[in-house]
Amino acid sequence: MRHVPEAVYDAQLGLGCMQGTRVQVLSNIEAWIKDPKAPQIFWLTGHAGSGKSAIGHTVCSCASKDPDIILGGSFFCSRSAGSAAQRDVRCIIPTLAQLLARQSPEFSVALAAELERDPDVLHKQITAQVEMIIQRPLLALKDSDKHVVFVIDALDECGNELTSNGTLDDPNSHRIVSAMIEALVALSRSPIRLPVKFLVTSRPETHIRDTPISDVEFSKVLLLHTVDKSQVTEDIRLYISTKLSSTTKLRNLFTNDDIEGLTHLCDGLFIVATTALQYTFSDGVDHALLRYKALLTGTRDGLSNGAVAPLDRIYAHILSDASRATKHQANALQAVQQVLGSLLSARMSLSVSALADLMDIPKDSLRPRLSHLHAVVHIPEGDEEPGLRTIHASFGDYLLERADDKYRIKRSVGEIALANGCLQVMSKGLHFNVSRCRSSYEANRPRAPDSVSLALEYACLQWIYHISRLQTLLSQESDISSKLRQRLSAMMNRSPIASALSKLNRMIGDIFRPRFLFWLEVMSVLEQVRRAAAMLIFASVTVRSLFRFMRR
């Protein structure tokens, strides 16, 4: 089953709501869970940064400790986690089913029976999955006096699916999300009422809002942006005050005016408070006041006229500070942008060492570039420890969409860096007997050898997808149609993406093809032979179409 352990609530970076905040919202959710007559779906929706994930995390934490509630399972979707599975809607239902099976023997037996009856259910449409691995096994608990609750957080962040020809297919992911919601609503309307509740959080995106989840007949709906703003402001004030007065030294540094200044700047968004305080203390307590004052008194010089949202202002300040801190380096801001672009394009969770290898820079040079981004990037303590990622999806949205030209990152920046990096890492890392087997007659070791580093694993698993993504971006950039094909050559000559693709084509011939068998050996060690076959088919389609594309 597509179980995704990194999507479970207690594997998340963020913490839940601070004690004393969000009291009314949490009370409403608890009452809903324990009310047997309440709708079986609760849709918690609000804008980015309004605190949905923190609320979802707190609900999970409280439910896991409540003797009257069974936390059936949780799935925290994320576009910034670096794990493709964490944004794959097809992984949600299997993960929830497996988590509940670990807690309930009755559900486990019933689930096993369903899987034995139809072993191919996991390859079926998501509507069938909801019915066969959630609804039917739950019949074994129909007489239970405990409430089972599932939490699905940030459902709007599911997407970025690749089609067989290498194009991004967010619309298809959106259709699957809509189908899953409709299946959950159908479950809640079944003749036999099951003791189960689904808490779903998301932004009010169209493909979610237009499903029955927004109908109060089928769901309990709470729009966070309609909650009494004075109540939210008071919660934010309490959060800031607690953080800025946790020690005697801090109480002597910060005044009530400082607290009120940041509270006003937040304008009802918790993410502004958490990001601002993370930035404030990212360089130690001794520099905290100086950093805090810079946030509150900073002007908008150099910022886009459209970057008026408080969160954008904080993000712009952090980027400006990071580029100033490395001003002794040539093209400091460009270097920071290339690192961030690569992080946003990464398809797996990377370590500092792995990203440094893929970007072909020393890890002792990469860590300083990242050190001034602690407020917006999670940086593992050890260089070999995976988990390098942006903390909140809104930071990626800002960099790719809302920032002005000075800070905005083109989507192609990270894709080009990682596509080049994958081929270069394979060039250095793929060689005869890369798996270090004593004999070709012996089975592979249960774990990949040290010779297969995380960077090499990433390169072998992901190289073709970055090239495919660049091809998609080039098509979008040039907006090719039958009427424009005669002008294609001139357009491509002006495109850095086309230039990068031309270079990558040569690298495939020079680097990948001569090392093809060594690549297969690594894929075998990683137990990804089936994926290797699929990648080869995918690559043949992509590269051939790329050759045709380049010749036209």
pLDDT tens digits along 387-424: 898 888 888 888 998 888 888 999 999 999 999 999 99
Per-residue model confidence as pLDDT tens digits over 168-185: 456 788 899 999 999 999
192-220: pLDDT as tens digits: 999 999 999 998 888 999 999 999 999 99
Average pLDDT over residues 138-162: 88
Q: Which is higher by pLDDT, 160 or 142?
A: 142
- Tens of pLDDT, residues 215-242: 999 999 998 877 888 999 999 999 999 9
Across 56-60, 265-269, 468-472, the highest mean pLDDT is recorded for 56-60
| Least-confidence region, from 1-5, 42-46, 209-213 | 1-5
Buried b or exposed e, range 105-122, using 16+ CB within 10 angstroms: ebbbebbeebbeeeeebb
* pLDDT for the residue numbered 267: 80
**Residue 331 half-sphere exposure toward CB, CA atoms < 13 A:** 5
Highest averaged pLDDT of the listed ranges 117-126, 132-141, 200-209, 427-436: 132-141
Contacts with 489 (C-beta within 8 Å, 6 or more apart), sequence order = 552
What is residue 363's DSSP assignment? Answer: H
* Better pLDDT: 473 or 1: 473
Q: Which stretch of 28-37, 140-149, 296-305, 357-366 has the lowest confidence by average pLDDT?
A: 296-305
Q: Which residues lie below 8 Å from residue 464, measured CB to CB, with a gap of 6+?
A: 535, 538, 539, 542
Query: Of 436, 513, 423, 510, whose CA–CA distance to 470 is shortest?
Result: 423
Asked if residue 262 lies in contact with residue 296, where contact means CB atoms within 8 angstroms, the answer is: yes
What is the residue-wise DSSP string for 86-141? Answer: GG-GGGHHHHHHHHHHHH-HHHHHHHHHHHHH-TTGGGS-HHHHIIIIIIHHHGGG
CB 73 within 8 A of CB 100: yes
Strand partners, 201: 44
* Residue 330 reports pLDDT greater than 80: no
pLDDT tens digits for 237-267?
Answer: 999 999 999 889 999 999 999 999 899 888 8
Q: How far apart are CA 514 and CA 523, in angstroms?
A: 16
Q: Is a pLDDT exceeding 80 seen at residue 297?
A: no
Q: Of all residues in the chain, what percent carry a pLDDT higher than 70?
A: 88
- The overall average pLDDT reported for the chain is 85
Give yes or no for residue 379 having a pLDDT over 50: yes
Write down the pLDDT at residue 325. 62
- Phi/psi for 201 (5° steps) reads -115, 145
- pLDDT value for 488: 47
CB 412 within 8 A of CB 497: yes
For residue 491, what pLDDT is reported? 47
168 pairs with which residues across the strands?
162
For the cut 70, the answer to whether the pLDDT of residue 135 exceeds it is yes
The Cβ-side half-sphere exposure at 227, using a 13 Å CA radius, reads 26
pLDDT value of position 47: 81
Tokens representing residue 459 in the block: 């390169």
pLDDT at 313 over 70: yes
Residue 438: burial class (beta carbons within 10 Å; 0-12, 13-18, 19+): exposed
Residue in this structure with the two tokens 């090719």, named with its chain if needed: 480
- Give the Cα-Cα-Cα angle 99, 90, 399 (nearest 5 degrees): 105
Q: Would you say 133 and 111 are in contact if contact means Cβ atoms under 8 Å apart?
A: yes
| Residue in the block written with tokens 């012996």 | 442
The span from the CA of 322 to the CA of 188, in Å, is: 50
On the question of pLDDT at 479 being above 80, the answer is no
Place of tokens 């250095």: 428
E-strand ranges in 163-267 read 196-202, 219-223
Contact 547, 506 (CB under 8 A): no
Integer Cα distance of 274 and 17 in angstroms: 11
Q: How far apart, in Å, are the Cα atoms of 135 and each of 107, 362, 499, 504?
A: 10, 52, 52, 48
Q: Which pLDDT band, with edges at 50, 70 and 90, does 455 fall under?
A: very high
Quickly count: other Cβ atoms within 10 Å of residue 499's Cβ: 13
Model confidence at 355, in pLDDT bands (50, 70, 90)? very high
DSSP labels for 417-439? HHHHHHHHHHHHH--TTTT--S-
CA 67/CA 16 separation, integer angstroms? 20
Q: Report how far residue 380's alpha carbon sits from residue 150's, in angstroms, rounded to the nearest whole number.
A: 29
Assigned fold of 5-227 = Rossmann fold (3.40.50)
pLDDT at 305: 36
Size (the chain), residues: 552
Q: What is the DSSP letter of 511?
A: I
For residue 134, pLDDT over 80 is answered with: yes
Identify the pLDDT of residue 82.
66
Judge contact between 239 and 21, C-beta under 8 A: yes
Q: What distance in Å separates the CA atoms of residue 346 and residue 354, rounded to the nearest whole number?
A: 11
- The pair of structure tokens assigned to 506 is 């040569």
CA dist 35 → 140, 212, 224 (Å): 20, 21, 21
**468: pLDDT strictly greater than 90:** no
Q: At residue 480, does pLDDT exceed 50?
A: no
Give the per-residue pLDDT at 72. Answer: 96
Number of H helices and E strands in the chain, helices first, is: 24, 7
CB atoms within 10 A of CB 166: 22
Mean pLDDT, residues 120-128 taken together: 91
Percentage with pLDDT > 90 across the chain:
47
SS (H, E, C) 364-415: HHHHHHHHCCCCCEECCCCCCCCCEEECCHHHHHHHHHHCCCCCCCCHHHHH
Predicted model pTM: 0.75
